[in-house]
A and B are shown apart, each in its own frame.
Chain A
Amino acid sequence: MSDRSTLRLAVLGVLLASLLITLVSRLFFLQVVSADTYTAQSSNNRIREVVTPATRGLILDQLGRPLVANRTSLVVSVDRQEIADQEDGGKAVLTRLAKALGTTYTALSYKLELCGPDAHEKPPICWNGSPYQPIPVAEDISQELALTIMEKRSDYPGVSAGLEAVREYPSPYDANAAHILGYLGPVSDDELAAQKRKVQEAQEAGTPIADESLLRRTDLVGRSGLEAEYDEALRGTPGIKRLEVDQTAAVVGTAGETDSVPGQYLVTNIDAKLQSVVEKQLLEAVKRARATDSRTGPGKYKADSAAAVVMDVTNGHILAMASYPSYNPTVWVGGISSKEYKALTSTKSNFPLISRATQGQFVPASTFKIVTAAAALESGYSPYSQFDCPARYQVGNRYFNNFEGEFFGRLSMAKGLAVSCDTMWYEVAYRWWLQDGGLDPKAKPADPIEKMAKAFGLGKRTGIDLPSESRGRVGGREFKKLLYEQLADAWCKRAKTGYPEVATTDPSRAAFLKALAKENCADGDVFRAGDAVNLAIGQGDMVVTPLQMAQVYAAVANGGTIWQPQIAKGLVASDGTVVKQFPRKKMGTLPVSKSNLAFLRSAFTDVTTQPYGTGYNPFNGFPLDQIPVAAKTGTGQAAKAGDQSTSWFATFAPSNKPKYAVVMMVSQGGTGAGTSAPSVRKIYEAIYGIKGSTVDPSKSVLQGGAPARSLPTVKSDGTPVYPELAAEQAQKKAETASPSPSSTQVADDAAKPDQSGQAAGLVAVSPLLLLGARRAARRRRRQPPPTASPPGQWRTGGGP
């Protein structure tokens, strides 16, 4: 054999050896260097989580009446895997189903597409949940269709029909309370991203968060109101079954299982019956305003929005709270359509999603005098001081008028408040302003009104347990400075450039605006005498939310304590055990002496009891001897030019032993006495069971004539016990006693919310119903909820 042969053999041997060395190197890289990566991938690979959503907790009123419940809805779901396994990729099945549902194959198949980079951007429908979970494609289908799908398995492979839980609003006594209850929406990408960060941080900190408590793509979360505020408690913990699956997604074993824990029941301080009365009376006030000729201009009052609050002054509990316009919360169930959403967020509908009680900001007008009076009393004025009340009062070169040019001559503080004299407070405020240095203020001005307003909690959130509350603002010296800091640049620019865009249409207005800009640029931060006197009567830059006003009146009523307004009363587990009772929370104490507060209570009572009081007429015939009502009317000049006046009526009662504060506000609604006061009176009549001039606590809308002290009972099966329950159950019993032999009837019964599924027909198909109905899953991406600010109440200055 030749040398060449041997040499080549040797080279071949080396080549073969190098192949093996290559393999070992690669093996080392995979198994030793990057082992972690692959181990992680491997465990993701084989575990599939099947989530059994927890039943969301109910929201109850103070007596246990469900305000938000869960209803079962017949839902058609499609299993992607099974559909994909069809010979034609499921086209025939889906076409058949689409026809039955009255939709098209294309529309249906979009719903089954997984969201992700590959998914169609348009139309924006895709399934953003787990591909291993059946995808709901239609809700609230007819029982006939459900039965067809269930019976004709061969026609509908991969398609199932079953009962799922969706939010339901039983509206006891027609109480709507939409703004309090809120609504649910799908988890957003941002929230999931934030959660991911949180989980990572927790992991690094060595305190990992349990998987069960995490939000999942398919979850619905509270987007507004109590649903958002108490989302975590209401949500419960989903049950997670960790299935080991193989490559074909066939289940080969169970790696772990946790049962779902239903969400807790949120008991509120709201009384459904009272809430219903308040909503009705608020609507009455709006109607009343719209039937009244405007005093300031042509036509009737527009009454574009309104709000009312009933608070327990002894603890801050909100017993009822309403906002107009409202909406039907059911629109959110199962996903809001874009048409509905547009309607709810349009100017035409006047933004019914915004709660005017907590998010609307309005000029408080004369209702603010309770603050001014407190400031006067604490700054040296005695309750017996005498004031002048001319028709107008001159400040510098400007005259400030009384409401409608009235004059009362010399009067006491109490009478001044009762008749709602403005000019007396102008004088008081002007004097204080001069004492503080006038246009050349002292380093530490006293600013008694501004300080008192802040001490009452104005200009900051009340702390109510609802999201997105507005702050309002105290339109004093500090605000002027703040505003100037923000707008000085703009003003000074305008002072130079003028308003050419306005000049083309209205040269004189443009000249006026330019002059104003110039003035503001020069000394826009100066707290002028005009600002000072406007603040004294709650005008100008001063704005409050109706809830803030209720808090203010409640604080005077209860002897000086500012309680945090509280809607939630407690949390009860679905098995009836009390989780917690929310204690009242003190936010502050008024810097006002007990005697001065007592004086204020009596002075404000004069408003309704004295014939000269602005609230005398509306309360004529009301048994004030038994239930004395302290009140203050307010007729605010709207901040926005051209708007009609804001009607206020702020009250508390009984003024000798205060229990309730009731505040009502109607925007562009006319006078406080004419529009709001009659409705507030009706609310008191409902609370005290007043008919004519007789007080009958047993006729009160509140059970026992007072708010409930303890939490309502929830039975161990999750049924809340409330006064009407027995009657309702008896009625139901009577209904079910009637013969119902047909299978459709059986399905009928099963679909009813409260029957936990004794009806055989559907339960056999949907065992989930027994475990606790599933939360409704959405089928399309929706827009995030509105974060719109209340319209038109923020005056940016510089305008005429």
Chain B
Amino acid sequence: MTLAYPTSVAPRRNQSLARRLDWPLIIAALSLSVIGALLVWSASSSRLNDFELDPQTYLKRHLINLVIGIALAVLVSRFDYRLLRAYTPILYGLSIIGLVVVLSPIGSPINGVQAWINLPGGFSIQPSEFAKIAIILGMSMLLSEKRDAENEPRDIDVVYSLAVAAVPVALIMLQPDLGTVLVIACAVFGIIAVSGAPARWLIGIVVGGALIAFVAFQVGILKQYQVDRFTAFVNASDPELARTIGFNTLQARIAIGSGGLFGQGLFNGAQTQGRFVPENQTDFVYSVAGEELGFAGAALIVLLFGVILWRAVRIAMRASDLFGRLVATGIACWVGFQAFENIGMNLGIMPVTGVPLPMVSYGGTSMFATWIAVGLLLNVHLRTKE
């Protein structure tokens, strides 16, 4: 028996566009973005006040980013995603160029990571975020091309698709941005798995990934701070490490732990307003939710991600073709694992890697990329025949 849906899909033009939209997905994404705006506001206002800057600077920028993100999502969802396949190579090429540029002197290092390109007007973009989309689209395209003739991708397709992922991953490794690499690896694995590729590839990827990680750790490809973050995570109880490297995570954990059931209220979190948690409008924004909104708010965020993942997997299930399914799968893996990595790091169950919480963390590129992903999901959804 096949679970596949008919592949010849005509858009469901008999219903209005509004009715055909995946509203749970949109509402969940919007909610996360708005909660994110509030958290970013709360996290940054006291700091900005001190420097006598507009305390709403980050709030405003976050909202601008959101509007741009939504616009991009609308734009992306309007195209037939099958047409997007044609643009994929261009998009892929652009993101490679972007990744090369950040490594050049034009890129500006933040926290020792060369991941940003500064733009006029105080904005900066992070090409690795767009690279995620490019990889997902590129891999999905390669793995779904032969779909009409055969049931499974040939080995050569898998090799090509891995090569497509490898180039940007290598460039991102050079930044170095381990967290993004992990997220991409997760998406790559998900796409190859769902493409129906032989199981040996899946085992091979897992074993190969573990080997690379082991060698990187031993040989010292990783920078010291990356090793330190990892050891701090493993030896969380070591007071010396806790004081130095584990400081951020400990403070984040204290913030979250002191939130209790309903939190201390926005703008009232002692840890947050006392600025004990570093990077708490970006990577550690979840600690603000934990402290100020409590278990109720923090769990709601996880729940909203759950809604997005549910919708993404559902869209993948129902996609009218393999390309659409693989794109949705890649996005689900990306958003799901990135959220897990970020929240897990805030909760002290994952090592510290600099990945933002999709839509919640302050950061334009991440916001744009995630909303583009939402747009892609909607696109696939709109072209699914019920």
Contacts and interface: CB of A to CB of B under 8 A. Distances in A.
Contact of A2 (B152, B313, B348): B152
Contacts of A23: 302, 340, 343-344, 347
Interface in A1-47: 1-6, 8-10, 12-13, 16-17, 19-20, 22-24, 26-28, 30-32, 34-35, 37-39, 41-43, 45-46
Contacts of B255: 42
A31 to B, nearest CB: 4
A31 B325 contact: no
Given A1-B322, A23-B302, A42-B270, A9 B254 contact: no
B298 A27 contact: yes
Contacts of A46: 270-271, 274, 276
Contacts of A5: 194-196, 322, 325
Chain B CB count within 10 A is highest, among A5, A24, A28, for: A5
A170 to B, nearest CB: 47
Interface stretch (A208-216, A243-251, A731-739): A243-251
A443 interface: no
Contacts of B55: none
Contact of B259 (A12, A26, A31): A31
A252 interface: yes
A16 B302 CA distance: 12
Contacts of B276: 45-46, 246-247
Contacts of A45: 251, 254, 270-271, 274, 276
B274 A30 contact: no
Contact of B256 (A1, A19, A27, A252): A27
A6 B4 contact: yes
Contact of A13 (B5, B258, B277, B309): B309
A38 B254 contact: yes
B309 A17 contact: yes
A32 B257 CA distance: 8
B194 A41 contact: no
Contacts of B251: 45, 247
A35 B253 CA distance: 10
Interface string B314-345: 00110001100100010011001101100110
Nearest to B295: A31
Contact of A9 (B260, B317, B336): B317
B151 A26 contact: no
B306 A17 contact: yes
- Counting contact residues on chain A (CB < 8 A from B), the size range is 35 or more
Contacts of A4: 152, 196
Interface in A495-548: none
Contact of A38 (B258, B274, B321, B336): B258
Given A46-B276, A244-B274, A3 B2 contact: yes
B254 A20 contact: no
Contacts of A27: 256, 290, 295, 298-299, 302, 347
A12 B194 contact: yes
A371 to B, nearest CB: 65
A35 B257 CA distance: 5
B85 interface: no
Contact of B260 (A2, A6, A16, A39): A39
A24 B258 contact: no
A37 B274 contact: no
B175 to A, nearest CB: 25
B3 A16 contact: no
B257 A41 contact: yes
A411 B361 CA distance: 109
Interface string A316-359: 00000000000000000000000000000000000000000000
B153 to A, nearest CB: 10
Contacts of A248: 275
A5 B317 CA distance: 9
A30 B152 CA distance: 45
Interface residues of B, number: 61
B349 A26 contact: yes
B294 A31 contact: yes
A23 B255 CA distance: 16
Chain A CB count within 10 A is highest, among B2, B46, B258, for B258
A3 B309 contact: no
B191 to A, nearest CB: 10
Contacts of B271: 42, 45-46
B190 interface: yes
A201 B310 CA distance: 54
Contacts of A245: 274
B291 to A, nearest CB: 8
B261 interface: yes
Contacts of B253: 30, 38
A31 B1 contact: no
A12 B317 contact: no
Contacts of A252: 46, 50, 273-275
Contacts of A247: 251, 274-278
A37 B313 contact: no
Given A5-B322, A46-B276, A247-B251, A24 B299 contact: yes
Contacts of B194: 5, 8-9, 12
Nearest to A246: B275
A30 B336 contact: no
B305 interface: yes
Nearest to B1: A3
Contacts of A39: 257-258, 260
B260 A12 contact: no
A375 B321 CA distance: 121
Nearest to B325: A1
B336 A16 contact: yes
Contacts of B344: 22-23, 26
Interface string B257-273: 11111000000001101
Contacts of B193: 8, 12
Given A9-B329, A246-B275, A31 B260 contact: yes
A30 to B, nearest CB: 5
A22 B348 CA distance: 12
B347 A16 contact: no
A475 B336 CA distance: 89
Contacts of A22: 340, 344, 349
Contacts of B313: 9, 12-13, 16
Contacts of A19: 336-337, 340
Contacts of A20: 302, 305-306, 309, 336, 339-340
A38 B277 CA distance: 14
Nearest to B313: A13
Interface in A211-268: 244-248, 252
A2 B151 CA distance: 6
Contacts of B325: 1, 5, 9
Nearest to B289: A27
B257 A30 contact: yes
A7 to B, nearest CB: 8
B261 A31 contact: yes
A662 B294 CA distance: 75
Contact of B257 (A13, A17, A31): A31
A612 to B, nearest CB: 82
A131 to B, nearest CB: 13
B3 A6 contact: yes
30 contacts: A1-B147, A3-B3, A5-B325, A8-B196, A9-B329, A12-B333, A13-B332, A16-B336, A20-B302, A20-B305, A26-B344, A26-B348, A26-B349, A27-B299, A27-B302, A28-B295, A30-B253, A31-B256, A31-B261, A31-B298, A32-B261, A35-B258, A35-B259, A37-B257, A41-B257, A42-B255, A42-B271, A45-B276, A46-B270, A247-B274
Given A30-B347, A45-B274, 8 more contacts: A12-B194, A13-B309, A16-B332, A26-B349, A35-B259, A45-B271, A46-B276, A252-B275
Interface of A: 1-6, 8-10, 12-13, 16-17, 19-20, 22-24, 26-28, 30-32, 34-35, 37-39, 41-43, 45-46, 244-248, 252
Please give me the 3 A-B residue pairs with the lowest Cβ-Cβ distance, nearest first: A38-B257, A42-B258, A246-B275
